[in-house]
Structure formats: C-alpha cells, structure tokens
Amino acid sequence: MHAPNFRVDGKRALITGGSRGIGLAAAFALGQAGAEVVIAARDRVGLDEAKKTLSANGLEQGSVRGVVLDVTDASAVEQTMATLGPIHVLVNNAGGNRGGLLKDKTAADIEAVLRLNVTSSMVVSKAVIQGLVDAGEPGSIINLSSQYGHVGSSERTLYSAAKHAVEGYTKSLAWEVGSLGIRVNTVAPSMIETDMTAERLSQPGVREVFAQKSALGRIGYPEDVAGAIVFLASDAAAYITGSCIHVDGGTTAV
C-alpha cells in the first residue's frame, strides 16, 4: 500500500491570470507543494507585485517566474510557450465577464467574452500539449470554469455560455490526450472573494445573499479553489480526467 501523493515536486506550473485573486492563490499553493511556478498576466507591474507577495509568504524567488502575456494573442502565446519548456501543470485561470442582458450586448461584447474565456484557454492548452508531446512527458490541464458552467442566471448569459463551452471542450480534450498521459479537468467556483468581486460584495446585502445560497453559509476564498487545483495537479488525482470539481459550497447541489 502507498498513500496518495499530493506533492508536485519537479513540475513546472503555468498559471494564466496569475497576478491576483484565484490565480495568485493557485501559484502560492502550487509553489508550496513543490512546483516551479510561472505566472502570466498582461501587466508587468502586477506581476512584480505578485512575485513580491509570493516571496514575502515564503516562496523562494528562484522558484517563481513572471511573464507578460496577453492570452488572447495567439502568436504571443506561441512565442512565449516556446521559451518556457514543458509545462506539466497548466491552470487556465484568465477570464472575465461583461454582465448585463443579452439584448443590450454588442457583437464585440460577445466576441470578447468568448475569446478571453474559451478561445484563449484552448490556444494555451494546445501549446502546452504540444510541448508535453515533444518532451514525452505527462501533464495536467486545469481549466477554471464556474458555477455558471452548470447553471444559468439573468445577466450572465455571455459568461454562462463561455463556461459551459469550457466544460464541454474539457471533456472532449480529456479523451484526445488521455493516451498521452495528459489529464484535463475543470474547477468550478461560485462567488469567491477577490479584488474583482470586492465592489459587488461591498454592496448592501450582496454578501449575505451569496452566503445563503451556500450550504456552508459563507462565500468562498481563493485558497478554497487553490486546494482543488493542487489536488488535480498532483498524482493523487492520477485517475481523474474529464471531470469537474465544484468549489461552490453546495450552491449547484440544489
């Protein structure tokens, strides 16, 4: 008998949108679990601040790299990936929404949400898969989905469409690359307290409404999501692919 191994020593992990929020928490958790961490974001200042935060919390400077990357730029993704070497753990965390009623959205709004949440995720995954194939190494791709990848909600039509697409392509991709030793899964959070959600959560009654929707009576925190990410990255999840871990306090269980 042997105990499950939740460590990721010797693995290189890339986290897109890694300079804050869930991405930063994932970078910290993966680094603590032994990974060489690469955080990607569009803003150099944000990356530098993220590296300082990780260092201040105990990660060695040499174990963390920051790369300026706009994941919606396919050519930039290809060029950047060529410089990083094999990525054993990919966390496709970059994403965003343009909330509101569909009738009020423009074609540009629709394209932007799908490009950021779906197309870029697939483009980065494609590059990571090719790198692993060339190196003959296994890997784990973890796509950040959402509760809205499983349910719908008014004024979340674009975001829900995008995250449902992430769930769908994850299942198909898991079958495409399973024989190569590459696993593909999603993590689907509900409301998580981050810089991006701070303004909304500060509105009267909003925090309480989301807490009431959770069986645990609270909203989530970035480290809640990071725990699921480290699990899926590790060999403890070696037989898990094409699946989703809901980090939502039971929100989608009803």
Catalytic residues: 159
Structural contact between residues 160 and 150, judged by C-beta atoms closer than 8 angstroms: no
Structural contact between residues 59 and 31, judged by C-beta atoms closer than 8 angstroms: yes
Structural contact between residues 90 and 120, judged by C-beta atoms closer than 8 angstroms: no
Q: Give the Cα separation of 46 and 44 in Å (integer).
A: 5
The two three-digit tokens of residue 99, written as one number: 């909330």
User: Do strands 139-144 and 89-92 pair parallel, antiparallel, or not at all (unpaired)?
Assistant: parallel
With H, G, I as helix, E, B as strand and everything else as coil, classify residue 20. Answer: coil
Residues near 238 by Cβ (< 8 Å), separated by ≥ 6? 183
Strand order, beta sheet including 182-189: 64-68, 36-41, 12-16, 89-92, 139-144, 182-189, 244-247
Helix 120-135 and helix 74-84, axial crossing angle in degrees, nearest 10:
30
| Residue 242 region by backbone torsions, left for phi larger than 0, else alpha for psi between -120 and 50, else beta | left
Instruction: Give CA 156 to chain center in angstroms.
Output: 19
